[in-house]
Chain A
Amino acid sequence: MATKKENPGPQKLNVRVPKRWNLSATALKDLQKALQPIAKDTIARLNGPGDVIVCVVRTPPTR
């Protein structure tokens, strides 16, 4: 089983464009680069503004 790293950063996105646009490979690469997210992260967080019920239980269960 491979080990995994937290928050590996943004994945390369790859959007195809129609051939009839006649975009050169360089132009397409530049465009894709200009649209890539600069950074991406995943954080643990209870979502939203509503009331969230927080419950932290000592595990393993108490004896």
Chain B
Amino acid sequence: MNVCLVSSPTVTEFDPKVAETDTVRVISEHAPIGILTLAAILGQHGITVEVIDLNQTYYRYLRSAAYRRRVDFCSFVAREFASRSFDLWGFSTICSTYPLTIRIARELKRRHPQSVVMLGGPQASVVDVDTLRAFPFIDFIVRGEADETLPRLLTAFPDMCEIPGVTFRSGGTIVRNPNAPAVLDLDKLPMPAFDQYGKLGTCCAVPLELGRGCPFACKFCSTNDFFHRRFRLKSPACVIEQMRIIHRTYGNTRFELIHDMFTVDRKRVVEFCEALLTSGEQFQWNCSARTDCIDDELIALMARAGCAGIFFGIETGSAKLQRLIHKNLDLREAASRISCAVRHGIGTTVSLITGFPDETKQDLRDTVDFLMDAARFDGAAPQIHLLAPLAGTPIYEQYRGRLEQADILSDVSYHGWRQDAADQEIIRAHPDIFPNFYSVPTSLDLGYLKELREFILDSILRCRWLVVALHQDRGGLLEVFDAWLTWLQEKRPTRREVSDTDERPYYARSEFAQDFLEFVRNRHLRRARNRGPLRALLNFELALNRDPPKPGGRTGAPRLAAGVRIMRLGADYHRILDCLRNHEPLATVPASRVLIATREIGNQKVEVSQLSPLSAQILASCNGENGPKQIARGLRLPKDIAGIPAPKVCLVGLATLRQQGLIE
């Protein structure tokens, strides 16, 4: 049997400009280990498998003449694979791209009517019967973990009656066989067929499965059910051996260790970390954890063993909602764990959700407060998302008859700026199959929540410390946001989400950054409790929003290096940041005149130097016109070095600034 396994795409919803950003690139390079593992298993059974990664196909599409001719992606895929013939097309599915996967499957079946079309993965597994009922071109669905089901099924095919975990048609009816058991010994699974992937050597972090099954029962989550809530881990020896093989074969040293809840069994996490330390390998890895299944001692051990990133799903900053969604985290403990991880140099993603059915404005305020307190850690990346009622989850079951067609889509479901009309059509026709594109009733306005999300995320990425300072000064960022909305309404009553010349939404345009700084200057600053520090932060941001000086002037005369900006501030910038990081009152920052030099150092990082008065004098004179002699002539030397001739002071000063990369 000739089999083609097709990944569920994760980047197809992104506009081409967004698709080229580093964030989306990293997502696109996430190898589809589910189908790569299946490919390896089927290979062991003598079944030929080809793997298609639709993320890579999407990037080919964006560079193609077809894209320029406005051919849609679905037709592009169908045309690209029109000449390929397989006995079976198997599609992996996730909620965000399920409509697209269905459409691609339809096109391929139309072109290859003799081929069998199979779906699997998290989304098809929970909407199997409805999917087969609605889409006759889908032949059958493999539910849950397919590692043992699929080879058995393909051996017995077309007889599926005895194969657990399969939903199929028989005569005019849909037959749903009992669930397949969870795969208990994950060490028996082969290494994913990375040779079928092709991009492993260049990807940021190689995904490797560490285990399966989260024993918790959060009401919004769909994965706990997919893996039967049965916690399993691969042995440290198995995982480390796979890491070594990948390192030897492709050169990668960074890994994304996949498990919904790695740290639930402390003893086994310790075993894994100690085995890594004993191995002497210098691998770096990321994982997911709950803040109540990890402690400071364990975090320290994980850091020593190469843990570089932890995803913490906090979900809500409201203690009440923690109980209602069955997450049940102690929020003080959560904040303490995040702080501990950051202290150990582990980057943390702090993920929150808003739009829960019982969420009040106070709950939202608590969530925003938690997020903003996480933003005080340099090593933390706070996120906030809109709830999506994922199929099969308790929240979905509770509200399934009351879901509302959403004009405002959850970003968990869909990140794109526009949705394909063909997707919209099948979503509208089948709410039970695509409920994640709908919304649950909530007392909070979804439009307000979406705008809040964009406001928070975009402003943090653009001017994090100013936003943290506003949050602290006003006693909550939600109050700042409400004032911002009022100001925006007065200032730009005709503001458009998409402008005539730019398809980017407002918050993704520089227009937002300019408006926001104007709002802080003209509205917020007047009422601010800590005007001096806020004005210093505002001036810092305004200076960074201006173009850096263009290189020019006389050949050989010292000038600012490319990307360097200098600015004078009325308060000690570093003292302000220390206060914000440590949650200390900004009133303790005295007024003082300081000269700041900033330098872009790549990877969205800016180096900020607060210069000594002497260096500040020298740097301020480096305009590309003055030579060292002229600069020296204007220097006022401090008493400590009054005995050293100014030209020598100037030469050493210039060398020092050059060493810092501030001048050339």
Contacts and interface: CB of A to CB of B under 8 A. Distances in A.
Contact of B462 (A6, A23, A52): A52
Contact of B23 (A41, A44, A56, A60): A56
Contacts of A42: 378, 601, 605-608
Given A43-B606, A47-B544, A49-B547, A37 B660 contact: yes
A45 B641 contact: no
B608 A53 contact: no
Interface in A19-63: 21, 23, 27, 30-63
A51 B510 contact: yes
A63 B226 contact: yes
B23 A57 contact: yes
B306 A1 contact: yes
A9 to B, nearest CB: 9
A34 B638 contact: yes
Q: Taking each of B23, B413, B504, which has the highest tally of chain A beta carbons within 10 Å of its own beta carbon?
A: B23
A34 B646 CA distance: 13
Contacts of B14: 55
Contact of B383 (A3, A58, A63): A58
B382 to A, nearest CB: 9
B589 interface: no
A62 B96 contact: yes
Interface string B291-321: 0000000001001111000010000000000
Interface stretch (B36-44, B155-163, B240-248, B650-658): B650-658
A12 to B, nearest CB: 11
Nearest to B259: A60
Interface of A: 1, 3-7, 10, 13, 15, 17, 21, 23, 27, 30-63
Interface of B: 10, 14, 17-18, 21, 23-24, 27, 30, 94-96, 122-123, 222-223, 226, 256, 258, 282, 288, 300, 303-306, 311, 342-345, 349, 351, 377-379, 383, 385, 390, 411-413, 415, 457-458, 461-465, 502, 504, 507-510, 513, 544-548, 563, 572-574, 577, 594, 600-601, 604-612, 614-615, 638, 640-641, 643-644, 648-649, 651-653, 655-656, 659-660
Q: Would you list the 10 A-B pairs with minimal beta carbon distance, nearest first?
A: A39-B574, A4-B345, A63-B122, A15-B655, A39-B610, A37-B609, A35-B656, A6-B378, A38-B610, A41-B608
21 contacts: A1-B304, A5-B345, A13-B660, A15-B656, A30-B640, A35-B656, A38-B611, A39-B574, A40-B608, A41-B577, A41-B607, A43-B465, A44-B606, A45-B605, A49-B546, A51-B509, A53-B17, A53-B504, A57-B27, A57-B415, A60-B288
